[in-house]
Amino acid sequence: MASELRQRRRVQFSETDAAGIVHFANYFRYFEDAEHALWREAGLSIHPEPSPIGWPRVSASCEYHRALKFEQEFEIAVEIREISRRTITYSGTITRDGERVATATWKIACVTKLPDGTMRSTDIPGEIADRLKPSGDAHRTSPLAPPTL
């Protein structure tokens, strides 16, 4: 079972742009890579083959606090914030030397792929829901709960 994951990585040259820093759209890839690693940590793949279901993004947002440059090392932390019947919401943080570089939140939806190529929202299969859980939110929203984590 997994709720969060941390990764270290290094900025690659093809991720930078002419401003000399990581192109802003690549942060979404950094967070997605860590999200998929979290699934692997839980013994799952977000895109097994074949599979009748898929996990498109419903929304994604990122705030940029500092820039990253070629070859800089940084740390990504992602955690599951909420699991509803049909969606999973994550938050993530990128830091470098302890300073916040970017913070993000995004939501994915469980869908069935229809024969005509479209997708329809569906319930998250039990064998997946059983292996992913929100990251200690109970404690934050309910300060009186005993610290069981």
Q: Which is nearer to its own copies, 61 or 84 (CB)?
A: 61
Cβ proximity to its own copies: between 7 and 134 the closer is 7
Number of other residues whose CB lies within 10 A of the CB of residue 22? 25
Q: How far is the CB of 79 from its own copies (least distance, A)?
A: 19
Output the smallest distance, CB 110 to its own copies, in A: 13
Distance from C-alpha of 50 to C-alpha of 143, rounded to nearest angstrom: 43
CB-based contacts of 77, cutoff 8 Å, min separation 6: 4, 5, 6, 34, 92, 93, 94, 95
Query: 3-state DSSP call for residue 20?
Result: coil
**Which residues contribute to the site for its own copies (CB under 8 A)?**
12-14, 16-21, 23-26, 28-29, 32-33, 36, 40, 45-47, 49, 54, 56-64, 67, 69-71, 117-119
137 carries an active-site annotation: no
